[in-house]
Amino acid sequence: MSFPELLTTRQAAELLGVSAATLATWRSTKAVNIPFTKIGNSIRYIREDLISMIRENRVHTDD
């Protein structure tokens, strides 16, 4: 059985190019719909969920 790659808040923030504090703010205020998993007291992010979120929010411009 294969499990998805789980990222810490710091790793997820690095992937998204924001600070860990910004990511925590987005999560707590729901300003940005960031999918996460809570395991005990730990917050984890599924890497593929974050990559999908990046793709879904991509803005295309007419050049």
Distance, CA of 11 to CA of 47 (rounded, Å): 9
Query: For residue 16, what pLDDT is reported?
Result: 95
H helices of the chain, in order, are 9-16, 20-29, 47-56
Is residue 37 in some structural domain?
yes
Is residue 33 in some structural domain?
yes
Q: Is the pLDDT of residue 62 over 90?
A: no
Is residue 21 in some structural domain?
yes
Is residue 61 in some structural domain?
no
Residue 44: both structure tokens together: 């984890």
Query: How does strand 6-7 pair with strand 42-46?
Result: antiparallel
Rounded average pLDDT over 22-45: 93
Is residue 62 in some structural domain?
no
Query: For residue 63, what pLDDT is reported?
Result: 62
Instruction: Domain of residue 39: give its range.
Output: 6-56
* Total domains, the chain: 1
Q: Is the pLDDT of residue 24 over 70?
A: yes
CA angle at 59 for the pair 7 and 13, rounded to the nearest 5°: 20
> For the chain, what is the largest distance between any 2 Cα atoms, rounded to a whole number of angstroms?
48
